[in-house]
Amino acid sequence: MGQLNKTNPHATRRSALVSAIGGGVVGGLFGFFQWLRLDLPFWAVYFIVPSMITFCALCGWEMEWQLPTAADEGYSPASPPAPPR
């Protein structure tokens, strides 16, 4: 499966797990505060928070596992624009 292939040469299982945990914590807090802000019924927190934790943890893991850092790609900042003539 192409989605699970490791394309970041510097990623390790531990770094991907740390990114997944960080994404899950951020997603869970975001989902909880959205539930509070929108004044939804109590049962909605059992759907919103776990789904946000799962989604953000998967996104954090995938970004760490697949996206190489900018320095690895030979990234260089854009040159300044040429002055108008």
Contact 57, 23 (CB under 8 A): yes
Q: What is the pTM of this model?
A: 0.72
Q: Using one digit for the tens of pLDDT, what is the confidence trace for 47-75?
A: 999 999 999 999 999 988 887 766 555 54
Greater model confidence, 40 or 76: 40
